[in-house]
Amino acid sequence: MGRLTFFLLTIVGLFAVYSLKSYQAIEVNNERFDFEKAKKSHTEKVLEIEKLHVAAAMRYAPKVVEEVEVVQGPLVELSTPELQKGHDLYGKCVVCHGKRGEGKKSQNAPAIGGQFDWYIVSQLQNMKNKTRINKVMDPYIKKLSDSDFNDLANYISKLPKAWAK
Ligand code: HEC
């Protein structure tokens, strides 16, 4: 037997073994066609596809923004007459600094809610004695006393720090 024949036989042999290995018996289904069963399986598939469609639609739907609970009544518990006075005085400041002391961009007014009381007092005093020039606030504070400043600062410092995200 020539070398070439031997080589070719080996190749053919390997191929035969490989083919036999990958051989799979074809399953013969002897079950008779059942219309009701086919119908049921079809309905199930349709429902499944519908569910997938809904899930996909929900994934791309815009997220529903939850309603933010609006705090009713005073933001600070007005437990003392001083706090009540501070709250009443602050009514004039709301137009620029906001109800929660959150500030207002359109007025260039900074957030002051939750600020240290001593800082608020010192700034109001500085503005009143013109160490710090604040022309827009001048009419609102020129008639206020140190005790008013204290009450204001007490109230404002207790407002929630809505601006400190
Ligand atoms: C007409 C608008 C306006 C009103 C009303 C107003 N403010 Fe102001 N307030 C401003 C502006 C604008 C500034 C920033 C000014 C600056 O840059 O110096 C400011 C600054 C301040 C500051 C300093 C904040 C900081 O971080 O240094 C305090 C405290 C303050 N206001 C308190 C008050 C209080 C208390 C009242 C009410 C009695 C009041 N403001 C009313 C416009 C207003």
| pLDDT tens, position by position, 69-115 | 656 667 888 999 999 999 999 999 999 999 989 899 999 999 999 99
Closest Cα to atom 34 of ligand 1: 93
Q: What is the pLDDT of residues 14-44, one digit of tens each?
A: 998 888 887 777 778 788 888 999 999 999 9
| Number of the ligand 1 atom closest to the C-alpha atom of 140 | 38
> Which residue, chain included where needed, has tokens 């827009």?
136
Ligand 1 neighbour 120 (Cβ under 6 A): yes
pTM of the entire predicted model: 0.65
What φ, ψ does residue 109 adopt, rounded to 5°? Answer: -90, 125
85 CA from centroid of ligand 1 (Å): 18
Q: Does the pLDDT at position 163 exceed 60? A: no
Per DSSP, 107 falls in state G
127 CA from centroid of ligand 1 (Å): 9
